[in-house]
Amino acid sequence: MILNLSDVLSEQHKAIHESVPIEMTCFKSEMGDYAITEKTPLELSVEYAGDRKLEVTGKAEITSVAPCDRCLEDVEVKVTLDFKHKIDTESDAYDQSEDLDENNYIDGYSLDVEQLVYNELLVGWPTKILCSEDCKGICNVCGQNLNKATCNCEDTGLDPRMSVIRDVFKNFKEV
């Protein structure tokens, strides 16, 4: 959805306070594509902050489904969007100061709500997704989900941290 910012940037500086529906059905990133199962409307506020700067605030909650990083079972991921950005709308504002956020969702007098939501999801997405804190993962030999059952595979892999000790014992055998 594109919001028209001409009233905010005009002489009256009329603020926008709207409940905007989020149209996004899938969150796509380099990590993969994740279906969005639930979402609340974005409570968006755009106000004039002086000197052709805008203050954009918003709140929403988005629930998506992503695989657990250890066992690959689907997990609900809730991301709360709660942001406040100060944006310079000047076209030559490439040298914005550090207190202003870089944006790609405002073009002239238009605010792209979906791009704003995407940016906030990208920032708020968890770095590690687990089905539970004590998830056992999957067997690296047979692929069995160790949370559901055990397997009869022997763990033949040596812990890489122990490779130094293995080399020491190897030297003793040669002597």
Which region among 6-15, 44-53, 103-112, 158-167 has the lowest average model confidence (pLDDT)? Answer: 158-167
| Residue 37, C-beta contacts closer than 8 angstroms, at least 6 positions apart | 63, 64, 65, 76
The answer to whether the CB of 61 falls within 8 A of the CB of 80 is: yes
Q: Which residue has the higher pLDDT, 80 or 53?
A: 80
Q: Which residue has the higher pLDDT, 131 or 48?
A: 131
∠ at Cα 10 (7, 11), nearest 5°? 125
The CB density around residue 146, as the number of other CB atoms within 10 Å, is 14
Instruction: Give pTM, 2 decimals.
Output: 0.74
The answer to whether the CB of 69 falls within 8 A of the CB of 129 is: yes
- Please state, in angstroms and rounded to a whole number, the distance separating the CA atoms of residues 11 and 36: 39
DSSP percent split of the chain into helix, strand, coil, nearest 5: 20, 35, 45
Going by C-alpha positions, the residue among 62, 171, 71, 168 that lies closest to residue 122 is 62
Query: Over the stretch 86-95, which tens digit does the pLDDT of each residue have?
Result: 887 775 544 4
Radius of gyration of the chain (CA): 25
Q: According to the model, what pLDDT value does residue 102 have?
A: 56
- The backbone region for 78, taken as left when phi is positive above 0, alpha when psi lies in -120 to 50, beta otherwise, is beta
